[in-house]
Amino acid sequence: MSIVVTAATGHLGTLVVDELLQRVPADQVVAVARNAEKAAPLADRGVEVRIADYNDEGALAKAFGAGDTVLLISGLEPNRREQHRAVISAAREAGIARIAYTSALGGPAADFDLAADHIATEQAILDSGLPYTFLRNGWYNEVYTDQIPVQLAHGVAGSAGDGRIASASRRDFAAAAAVVLTGAGHENKAYELNGDTSFSLTEYAAELSGQSGKDVAYHNLSPAEHLQVLTGAGVPEQFAPILVDVDNAIERGLLAGRGTDLSDLIGRPTTPIAETIAAALKG
């Protein structure tokens, strides 16, 4: 019986494995990854690596074992709804003990496009009859700070108005996942995970200005203008409208926070955006 992390070499998965290794012996952790070479650093730490792709049902059938606790990290591809169903099916057939899933803040109440696949996946898990934990993750600080080089050159662009974002660091969300995967009392629960504090994009730009010493402004655009900026920057045409719709959700208050589940789980305050900006500027 192992703790199995899918997409274990991704940004979040790598951090989840790291957090797990601070809590349990390495021989209790399994990393599911598409590429053995990319997963080699995890194997070097004593983690068992199982090679499987969300699109390969045969490989998925070998990725899980009876009694495992599985973290399904949501995919990024357009067909991820079908991919998630394949993972759930393989996990059910293997007789796993529980599945945790990285969903979207708000769950079924999240009426924006990016959340639709998460809502469908939550329902597929419920329909499977598997014991579950839903980790309804809000926005990561890094969604913004990863774009700092562009922001310093061109400013911060969006269509979120004065909407507030209660984000937290990716490490915070990884720590919450590790707590849920290793602890008791999380079966058949949904956690709304967001930062303790929130900010508007105007406030974000001001913080970046203060820390960088450069004049960074927030340019609030119309949805049509925002879409044009995103596609002009190379964002895929099928994904750009989804990002514009997220800003609409921010403006409507849907990512402004839903309580203290995240800080309660990790036992400390969440990482404020100012701290993540500082880390990013240091490189």
- Whose tokens are 């991704």? That residue is 10
Whether 60 is covered by a domain: the verdict is yes
Whether 265 is covered by a domain: the verdict is no
Whether 254 is covered by a domain: the verdict is no
Length reported for the chain: 283
- Whose tokens are 């899918």? That residue is 6
Number of domains, the chain: 1
Whether 180 is covered by a domain: the verdict is yes
List per-residue pLDDT tens for the chain, 283 residues long.
899 999 999 999 999 999 999 999 999 999 999 999 999 999 999 999 999 999 988 899 999 999 999 999 999 888 899 999 999 999 999 999 999 999 999 999 999 999 999 999 999 999 999 999 999 999 999 999 999 999 999 999 999 999 999 999 999 999 999 999 999 999 999 999 999 999 999 999 999 999 999 999 999 999 999 999 999 989 888 889 999 999 999 999 999 998 999 999 999 999 999 999 999 999 8
CATH of the domain at 71: 3.40.50.720
Range of the domain at 188: 3-138+169-193
pTM reported for the whole predicted model: 0.96
Whether 217 is covered by a domain: the verdict is no
Whether 123 is covered by a domain: the verdict is yes
Query: Which residues make beta-bridge pairs with 193?
Result: 137
Is residue 65 within 8 Å of residue 94, measured between CB atoms? yes
Beta strand segments in 73-217, E: 98-104, 132-137, 156-158, 189-193
Whether 210 is covered by a domain: the verdict is no
Whether 90 is covered by a domain: the verdict is yes
